[in-house]
Structure 1
């Protein structure tokens, strides 16, 4: 049976795990296991351009918590690549087996099985809800507690999980989930008068990266402003303007409508400084009347009603991870 290729798809002519040799990661740089047909196939480079250390993987501590039910029938012919699934190393990290890097080393050392097949190549995407994953022969508990939610924050609500002055806040909207034991926190903030999309999660690393300016995750807003915006406004804001805390610019601006002394603008930027959209537009003479955040990366607000929550789908979660190199 074919094993998974570097991108997780089944390879042709490759040796399966346990067929002898040092395995893909143990081979000299530039060499590959299997037939010559595999030599010409394009390979996705490993994260940060390096390969997992097989020797470290052989001695790495396995922190996996064994699942209660170890004897499970495995159907099919081994691991199945799921295009919208979760990378195996990410699943292992979420299960507490090791860090993502450590999980990659465990995979390279041949210590990880998926649906009865030993996986040595990086990048296999699986469905964590159906895949039977074992480390050192023991089935592990896959962490199913991760939450990824989209909230349409209403105008007048504060971007906090609690408010000592009794003002309405997003914590009120998820109070039942918190009381049920979920520890949620918001990704970024919106000022009280700004409405729209906020992400809620208990995935700390993803949240940290989404908020970190180095990853430049784009955010899109609809702004109703005073005054009829001139055609050169987009060029001005893309070129950058000086604010009290330094220069700021938008990545894209589109004028959608001008009516009775007001303009409707759609603008995208990747910065997240406090009230930056309002300050930029005020600086160019167009104070904001209404501001709605509609998109964070690949996640869009759509027709979600104010105050409502929805669970992100696998495609959206995967796109967020891709945007921040996870």
Structure 2
């Protein structure tokens, strides 16, 4: 069997196409189910060129590898809604994207309300949106929050234990007071639950009013280096961390 010396290992090519794992690919070859350029393969160590060689599995052409997902982060400004189109609001987060990015079918992973600012993540992958937004994956989102009023001695503990609001149990992963000035406290809040306007509703239940809210992190990806209205593509390393992250940037100790 002729191989392509400078090509890729066939196990890697089959795994990249989503046919099987690398170990599973070797099993397929040894079972005689893989054909290369019309001939049955018997050597799992062979190298191939996926661009020029014709590979078949069980008589069917090898499917093309899935498109590599793309992602970018945006520092959302206050006054913009997280929606592709809204009949009641002229300004959407898509208007903040640079012109060269607007033609792509970007999906956003998680909303920020109109009066909040901070990190919004866009991706071409519906699977990544599901991973970042479904509560079963427990991906952390971190916020800086400025609050008018005092939650009281046990208020923050209530947020950690869980608060039943409108028939749902809302809870924070961590809450830490970071400052206080002229009647307003500043807090760092981490959530993995992600109910609508969750932080505002929890503080309101404690008799407080959120005056400012900024999302600063989603999983391992932070907003550092961006000003309001700016965006950038994620690097390959950031995207790999995001795809491999099941628990945010690690569980934080509850306070």
Could you say which TM-score interval applies, normalised by the shorter chain? 0.7 to 0.9
* Corresponding position of 1:74: 6
Counterpart check, 1:266 vs 2:188: yes
In structure 2, relative to structure 1, the CA distance for the partners of 1:108 and 1:210 (3 Å cut) is farther
Distance 1:206 1:179, change over 3 A: closer
Paired with 1:268 and 1:119, the residues of 2 have a C-alpha distance of 48
SS at match of 1:134: coil
Q: TM-score, normalised by structure 2?
A: 0.74
What are the equivalent positions in structure 2 for 1:23-172 lying under 5 Å apart? Answer: 74=6, 92=16, 97-98=17-18, 102-104=19-21, 105-106=24-25, 108-110=27-29, 134=50, 137-138=53-54, 146-165=69-88, 167-172=90-95
Residues 229 and 258 in structure 1, CA contact (< 8 A), matched pair in contact too: no
- 1:312 equivalent in structure 2: 234
Counterpart residue number, 1:280: 202
Q: Judging changes above 3 Å, is the alpha-carbon distance between structure 1 residues 208 and 186 closer, same or farther for their aligned structure 2 residues?
A: same
Shift of 1:277: 0.8
Report the counterpart of residue 66 of structure 1 in structure 2. Answer: none
Task: Report the count of equivalent residues.
Answer: 224
Q: Which is richer in strand?
A: 2
Q: Distance in 2 between matches of 1:133 and 1:221?
A: 47
| Deviation at residue 89 of structure 1 after TM alignment | 8.4
2:192 is aligned with 1:298:
no
- Once the two structures are TM-superposed, the CA of residue 90 in structure 1 deviates from its matched residue by 11
TM, length-normalised to structure 1: 0.59
- SS of 2:145's equivalent in the other structure is strand
Residue in 2 that maps onto 1:255: 177
- Using the alignment, how far apart are the partners of 1:198 and 1:138 within structure 2? 42
Query: How far apart, in 1, do the equivalents of 2:111 and 2:176 lie?
Result: 24
- Where does residue 62 of structure 1 map in the other structure? none
Residue from 109, 124, 145 that aligns with 1:223: 145
Relative contact order, higher structure (CA 8 A, sep 6+): 2
Against the structure 1 CA distance between its residues 219 and 73, is the aligned structure 2 distance closer, same or farther, given a 3 Å change threshold? Answer: same
CA contact (8 A) 1:217 1:296 kept: yes
- Deviation digits for residues 235-286 of structure 1, max 9, x if unmatched? 2211111100311111111100011100000010111111011000111122
Structure 1 residue ranges without an equivalent (≥5)? 1-17, 19-70, 80-87, 121-131
